[in-house]
Every structure is written in C-alpha cells, then in structure tokens.
Amino acid sequence: MKLYQLKVHEAHKLISDKEISSEELLLSVLNRIEDVEGMVQGFVTVTGDYARKKAREADEKIARGEAVGPLTGIPFALKDNMCSKDILTTCSSKILKNFIPPYNAEVFDRLEEQGAVLVGKTNMDEFAMGSSTENSGYFTTRNPWDPARVPGGSSGGSAAVAAADEVLFALGSDTGGSIRQPASYCGVVGMKPTYGRVSRYGLIAFASSLDQIGPLTRDVRDCALVMNAICGHDPKDSTSTPVEVPDYSSFIGEEIKGIRMGIAEEYFSLGINHEVKDMVEEAVAGLEGLGMEKVELSLPHTSYALPAYYLVNPAEASSNLARYDGIRYGFRYEDSESLLETYKKTRSVGFGAEVKRRIMLGTYALSSGYYDAYYLRAQKVRTLIKKDFDQAFEKCDVIVAPTAPTVAFRTGEKVRDPLQMYLNDVFTIPVSMSGLPAVSIPCGFIKGLPVGLQIIGKAFDEGTILKVAGAFEESMPFKNMKPAFGSYSRGGV
C-alpha cells in the first residue's frame, strides 16, 4: 500500500510509532497530486510550500516528544469557500479570483491546532451554487470512478480529491446536500453536522440559515476523528450552539441492535432510479440483519421541500452576495464611466450564470408585494418539514434513505436544465431545511458507480448516526474499493 492510500487513523498510528514521518506522508500525497490531478482537476490551489513547512513543524513536535494528536501531520484539503490567511480563497468565482483573506476560518484554525497539514483548496460550484461542480468559474472537476461523469456538488472538488487519494480527508460545506451528494457520487463518507454544531466563522456565506461545514473522508472512523476536531461552540459565530461535544470515535464499533430505523415512503418514490432504490433497500435489509428495528413512517411535506428551498436559498444568497460590488475587494471592472456602471459591469462579468439566476430569483422573492407570497410562505413550509421530522423521531432513532436519486450523471447532461439539476438534491434538502445531521456512506455500486446511503439523525445526535454508519460499513465487503485509474496498485470495480 502506498502512503497516500492510508486512512487517517492508519497514518496516525504510523506517525505516532515513528514508522513514517509527516514529511514522508506529505511527499507521497504531493506526488499523487502531480500524478492524477491533471485528470481529476479537484484543486483550485495547491499549497505545496506551505504544506512542507507544516509537515516539518509536525515532525519537529514529534521529535521533541510532544503529544501527537490524531490529525498531526495528516494532509487535508479545504473547500475554496473557507478563508485561509494569506492563501487565495476564490469560491471558484471570477469575482474573487484575486482575494486573499486576512484571517482563517475557525475550522482551519482548529485543524492547524491539531497539526493537520493543508495541501490545497478545492474546486466547487461557484459560491456553492450547484450540484455537479460544472458551475465553477474555472473548470469542471471529474469523478474518479468515471472521468466522463460529474463528482457532484457543490463540494465536488473535496469529494473527488478524497476519493482519488490526493488527500487523506477534506472539508466541504453543505447547504442543501453539497457534502452528502458528492460523497454519494464519489464513494466516500460525507457528513453534514447539525446546524450550529460547527462554526461558520470564515465560511464565505451563501445561505446563512442553511450553510454548515463537515468532513469528507475515506471511512466512518476518519469522519469521527475530523468531527472531534472541528465541532464545538465558537463565540465568533452567533449561530454556533454551546452544546457539549462527545468523543465521536467512542461510538465506532458499538452495538446497533435494537436501534429503531425509520423508513419514509416519500424517499423511495420521488423520482428515484429503480436500481438505486433496490440498492438502498438491500442496505436496509442489511441493517435489519445487524439487529436494527425497521419502522415505517411518513414525512408528508417532503415534496414541498425543494420548491421551498429554492425560495429561501436564493433569497439569502441575494442578500449575502450584495457585498460583491467591485469596490472593497475581489474583481473590479475597470473600464467604467460611473460608479453605477462599475457595480453593474463587475457583477455582470464577475458572477456566473447560476449565481446571477439565484440572485435574481432571491431579489424577486424578497421584493415589495411578493415577500409574503413567496419567502414568508416558504419559511412556513420549512416549519412544517421540521415538524415532520420531529414527529418521525418520536417513533425512531435514525431515518435511513437514499442520498441521491441516481448515480453520478455525465458531464453536460443536465447543465442546460436547471430544474433537472436541482432534483439531484431532492433527498438531502429536507434535512438541511430542518437543520438536522446526516451522513452519506457507500452502500454498493451500479455498473461501477457508487451509490450512497443517507443516515439522518436527531439534532446534535451525530454519535448515533456514526454508530450506525460504522456498523454498516464494517459489514460491507467493498469497503476498501478504489477507483481503478492512475497509479493505483489495487483494484477498483
């Protein structure tokens, strides 16, 4: 096994036992990036020199006999909407093509305190608006399982580089499914924590009542380790919740017998591909075989989640993106004859088509005479969706569902039809609208393409989700499968 193929917990043991150094692990990862990045195109920026400096610092710390944390010396990537001091942060948008933040996102600071080693910033749909990474202002990331297909979005770059072994883990952000859906398409583990569990300080805002940062990892144990590092109250974020954070690693390997598993009929009927449905139903049967109790239930307002989301989401985007005016930072259109023309031309040239579409939709929904009819009504529907989950969790401990209605689709297949693109998030959006935690884990393959199983939990009960996910993962025979491309020495599908 190559060093870049190690999982986080495996690399941690080797580093702790001084069998490998952080610099050796980093060199393997940087060589891997050089080898396959031309195909994957997952990075906007590779921070090689910065990573070498941090790896040396980790090795010096170990040489002094200081305690080694579970992420010390571990190479990782950040989605390019998380601020990194003195390192380019673009949101994959031309309007921020030259933006270098003066401070770090809180999650980045927490990972650096652990001694983790940043190797780069990953590609994404511009300002996190999209489901395929085709809306990036720079280039489209490719799916490592099939380069002709998308990796999902908006955290497509983070999911792809994790799947391609270009880093040992990555962080993404999830507004309506932007961690879970690409995790499903790329065959990795992706968790959206409870809203308020992870600080949003330094996350460039898209839809502030929905955005949440979470990990993309190679297995559930690694997911728990990263969650331990990034979760917790942050006084710099007014939406951060002061709720105690357990040791998520302690849930891995625990018995799941007797845990009640809710199955909502709506998640198995709304446009789901029949092969995906069959695969998820097999996974449900597998969980029953592990001792979980199946509970049939209904989430009756599920079908309203998508239209409600696409009013709340653009409205908040319209407000948040008003700050990009070409005056204070980022791209500025220079050849203007007036201040008003500078505003117009900067935003017209700097923003891509999908971002402009959502700004216009959101501005319309918030406008005088339409606010009550659209935005306010969408928020009322959001409350009904949350009540559905509250009632469901009186009967069960977790809800199990598909992550996405299909496997990864071909690049260009849906780019001209925004409505079809939006439907890719039909099973993840209701969870986001309710602020609940959920994880996507691989549950099988269809014609060589991964299928994701979504496990949804009660607010701040990520531990139970990880317990169930870990037990399921351990029972799966394909848990070490890799995409068969590049310089892999062990098989794929």
Q: Give the residue numbers marked as catalytic.
A: 79, 154, 178
Using CA atoms, how far apart are residues 134 and 163, in angstroms rounded to an integer?
A: 18
- How many angstroms separate the CA atoms of 224 and 453, rounded? 17
Contacts of 455 (CB under 8 A, 6+ apart): 398, 399, 400, 438, 439, 441, 465, 468, 469, 472
The CB density around residue 4, as the number of other CB atoms within 10 Å, is 24
Task: Please report which residue ranges of 265-304 form alpha helices under DSSP H.
Answer: 274-289
Residue type, position 41, single letter: Q
Question: Could you tell me the CA-to-CA distances from 344 to 206, 350, 351 in Å, in that order?
Answer: 20, 10, 11
List Cα–Cα distances, 356 to 24, 127, 253, 320, in angstroms. Answer: 45, 11, 47, 13
Distance CA 431, CA 175 (A): 10
β-strand pairing of 117-122 with 169-174: unpaired
Q: How far apart are CA 305 and CA 351, in angstroms?
A: 27
DSSP codes, 119-184: EEEE--SGGG--SSSTT-SS----BTTBTTB---SSSHHHHHHHHTTSSSEEEEEESSSTTHHHHH
Secondary structure (3-state) at 109: helix
Tokens of 220: 């559930």
Cα 360 to the center of its chain, rounded Å: 26
Output the furthest CA–CA distance in the chain (Å, rounded): 70
Phi, psi (deg, nearest 5) at residue 242: -80, 65
Residue 79, amino acid: K
Closest by CA position to 159, among listed 135, 183, 141, 143: 183
Contact 280, 268 (CB under 8 A): yes
- State in Å, rounded, how far the first CA of the chain is from the last one: 18
Q: Please, which residues bridge with residue 296 across strands?
A: 263
- CB within 8 Å of 250: residues ≥ 6 apart: 463
Encode burial over 424-444: b for 16+ CB neighbours within 10 A, e otherwise: bbbbbbbbbbbbbbbbbbbbb
Task: Return the beta strands (E) in 351-436 as ranges.
Answer: 398-402
